[in-house]
Amino acid sequence: MRLLLLAPPGAGKGTQGARLAAAFNVKHISAGDLLRAAARSGSPVGRQISSCQERGDLVPDEIVFDVLTPVIVEAVARGGYILDGFPRTLPQATAAADLGARLGLALDAAVYLYAPEPVLVRRLLGRASQAGRGDDTADVIRHRLKVFAETTSPLIAYYEKRGILLAVNADQPPESVTAEIQARLPGPSPAHDIKDTQDTT
């Protein structure tokens, strides 16, 4: 199973990523978590990552590729992945598709989780009051939502055009979101034969 999760902050990418990875017995790859871990190294690149994340800006594509590519390649070798938070820009999406083509693999679906903005903000502020991620402040949340709308949301049309977009209402309990994704995922069919599809990641 190879899935990616495309969603604004607060829609539940992390939660669904973990649940789906357990359900399909594949690796959950969280771009945000991997970048936060790389930031903790304290190297110059690490400091660059952490200043982007603190501001709610995207980390430059090249850094994202360096951090994520080896993890994706390894997950592919072990049977698949749930990719949460990558790709997030059109250049990242085309690079991911190129990587898939090189590895001879098709993506099963791009799951777009959507919810009304007040719901997203409420969830993120709720999380801030509990776990306290540095970028869950009102100003940075607003900025992250804007970055999603401007830079990441074009990927919705990109995957729709490729015929693999699965849009799911994320404003329902986590178990219902997972169940809906599982029920609506395309089953094995000739259309998913590698030779018959151009959707690769």
Which active-site residues does the annotation give? 13, 88, 127, 133, 144
Stretch binding ligand ADP (CB under 6 A), from 21-29, 57-65, 160-168, 177-185: 57-65
**What sign results for the dihedral spanned by CA atoms 81, 87, 91, 94?**
positive
Q: Which helix (H) or strand (E) holds 187?
A: none
Establish if 86 lies at the interface with ligand ADP (CB under 6 A).
yes
Question: What is the token pair recorded at 77?
Answer: 């070798």
In angstroms, the Cα distances linking 187 to 109, 110, 192 are 11, 14, 9
Establish if 9 lies at the interface with ligand ADP (CB under 6 A).
yes
- How many of the chain's residues bind ligand ADP (CB under 6 A)? 19
Establish if 31 lies at the interface with ligand ADP (CB under 6 A).
yes
**Residues 3, 108: contact at Cβ < 8 Å?**
yes
For the range 66-70, what are the long-range contacts, defined as Cβ-Cβ under 8 Å and sequence gap of 24 or more? Answer: 67/31, 67/34, 67/35, 67/38, 68/29, 68/31, 68/34, 69/99
Stretch binding ligand ADP (CB under 6 A), from 19-27, 48-56, 163-171, 184-192: 48-56
Q: Which helix (H) or strand (E) holds 76?
A: helix 61-77
Pick the binder of ligand ADP from 4, 20, 21, 59 (CB under 6 A). Answer: 59
Pick the binder of ligand ADP from 144, 177, 181, 201 (CB under 6 A). Answer: 144
Establish if 88 lies at the interface with ligand ADP (CB under 6 A).
yes
**What sign results for the dihedral spanned by CA atoms 116, 122, 185, 152?**
positive
Pick the binder of ligand ADP from 35, 95, 97, 115 (CB under 6 A). Answer: 35
Pick the binder of ligand ADP from 19, 20, 26, 32 (CB under 6 A). Answer: 32
> What is the C-alpha to C-alpha distance for residues 49 and 44, in angstroms, rounded to an integer?
9
Nearer to ligand ADP, 21 or 35 (CB): 35
Using CB under 6 A, list all residues that contact ligand ADP: 9, 13, 31-32, 35, 52-53, 56-59, 64, 85-88, 92, 135, 144
